Structure 1
Amino acid sequence: MSEENGSAALDVLHVTEACGGGVRRHLRLLIPALQARGVRCGLFAFGSRDEADFADDLSALAALGCDVSFRHHEGKGLGEYWGSWRALRTLIAARRPRVLHLHAGVAGVLGRCGCRPYPDLRIVYSPHAFAFHPSLPRLRNCAVRGAERLLACNVDAYVFVGRSEIADANLLGLPPERFQLVENGLPDDYCATLLEPAVARYKLEIAPGTIAVGVPCRLVRQKGLGIFLSAFAQVAEKHPAVQVLFCGDGPERDNLQRQAVSLGLSGRVRFLGTVPDLARKLTAFDLAMLPSFYEGLSYVLLECLGAAVPLLVSDILANIPRPEFRECLETFRVGDVGDLALRLDYGLEHLELMRGKAQIGAELIRSEFMLSSQVDKLALLYKRLARKCHGNGAAASIAENEAK
């Protein structure tokens, strides 16, 4: 694809404000794989949510020949986003990408506002979970729904990482002929990179005899972590060997630490912050928790299953992207403290049964959720979009790809 461009042009410019968590993992996996396929990529990241070592990602991508830039926000005022919008437009004018791929809600708004800088620019949008949910403020939900509907006219293709996003897109009334499902996948050698459980437990300083319950995610409201702490408080006395490890950071950390103290759990819960190479260390956990209110298709879900780590998750569609996932993990009613406590107690009492389910999950991930397949689909979509610069060509190409 890149050989058709001028020497300074990009095939795809990725744009994101979500410089942490799953979106960061998504880009860290995808961009090098796309570069290796001959798709010349750039990355424009902006905002104030970058994790402490995000600069390492930028350096690694630059070393691969990826055109990277980052604009840090000192605050959250509209002036900062106006400055980032102008910086993005300048970058687009200089590098003339054929495809602009917007990742997550804020970048989705920023990249779709205003007319296209030039008519043959194709715009792809991946929401990575639409940011509306009953657990969120009503005014915010209304604003998100309104913005998504208003800006739909400026999208050539929606790339959804999981089936739950398609369900939400249908609720929003977005144009289904532009939908493309490209499920997240793991590197083909993922299992070979995993640490032995004893090594992983040593690195995370888990004492012998401890039953380690991992909570590997960003500490944000979306993840339902307060619900989990309340549920754990109900069963903690019955399971004295259990220790909970929060592996991630975010704006809810202080609130969660205060909640743990108020529930008498301060000696049973550890907050590790961002854990380098966490994906390799998931084998340290006897059980992993994902109590989210909403998601796209979480990499941690795939990684835990790929590592054969037992999982207890909320019963949202994103955590059960296919019916066969019900054979691989345990679920609880989303947001229900009592049901979560009941299922957590069951999981801790039946860890061997949970491990058996996790083994089924590992086989499913290896056969159905590999990065190579994900990259193949995405590279093909970019190529077809770039060649369809007039009329309804973008929609036609997507329909043709879906039919195949």
Structure 2
Amino acid sequence: MAFRCQRDSYAREFTTSVVACCPAELQTDAGGKKEVLRGFHVVLEDTLLFPEGGGQPDDRGTINDIPVLRVTRRGAQADHFTQTPLSPGSQVQVQVDWERRFDHMQQHSGQHLITAVADHLFGLKTTSWELGRLRSIIELDSPSVTAEQVAAIEQSVNEKIRNRLPVTVRELSLDDPEVEQVRGRGLPDDHAGPIRVITIEGVDSNMCCGTHVSNLSDLQVIKILGTEKGKKNKTNLMFLAGNRVLKWMERSHGTEKALTTLLKCGAEEHVEAVKKLQNSIKLLQKEEPSLLQFHSLTSTWISCLFPLSRKEGDSEFMNIIANEIGSEETLLLLTVGDEKGAGLFLLSGPAEAVETLGPRVAEILEGKGAGKKGRFQGKATKMSRRAEVQALLQDYVSTQSAEE
């Protein structure tokens, strides 16, 4: 006989009786730290909590509000590990952690659907699968799966979800001729009782002990995250189903918002902005000897001018350098671009000096700019006049030093 959780995967609580309770131990591994818990294996007349099996993790829940830390199958019965004993013969109320259960139902039924579609469309056979904590993995018996195949599988499974195909559970006896027509990877050695067959109408029939949705519409949506090389010429396909897709989108949206704030650009420009940052870092690394020399100068001079010009770079590159080595006592002139053409410039330093000199720098370079708080930057059309700018700034520094 199947457990109550297998007969009705949507049941959240029910009453049953305790058959047995004996001392037991549970090995745990939390954050790499192994620990042995002492407690009890409780056997119930029937159970609402699914024991681990078929690639699906076990349920969590309570028996009379006592937490169940593990559920394992032993032949035709389930052992519930608790740290509080329960009296044999007593009536108990069993409740399942519904969020965890429904998540497992969505992932498991999603795996059945993907497996059937991948086989039907491309002859890609599933050899194993894993229902992970954050994502699930289907191992396909193929050394490679193309991006086009992945896209076709994803499109097909979501069409079937929108078609609201029913999912039914039947029990067959071992000698039923229909068993030979049902897909499956064999039964465990200690299997007892009838064989459960999960059928997605018009799509697939498969032997399975797990909990499943009753209609594909409960899967909501399936997102295939991609593939990676597996073991022994296999390919691993990673996917999310149902609420996991929504949580993944929430995390991705949060990351997108954070990047938008950091990069100061829209989401569609994130990749290009990161590429520019990478290029700026490479250029900055090339400037390390000059920057070290500058730091040596500023350690002995109260006020100085540090000019730096490079053909390659952008405004982000200049801002990185200004943030790294700029100070309120030093005039820093940065330019990027072809000396014979147009380019960009940045002047930073004492706020009063930058406010006075910034517009004059833009005028000499025949460009436009703006500034605030000790920084003035803009575009120039005559980079060939950079020497005039440097002379202007040097005269200002010399005048200031003489007055001091």
Q: Is TM (by shorter chain) over 0.5? A: no
Greater fraction strand: 2
Give the structure, 1 or 2, with the largest relative contact order (CA under 8 Å, sep 6 or more).
Answer: 1
Greater fraction helix: 1
The two structures have a TM-score, normalised by structure 2, of: 0.22
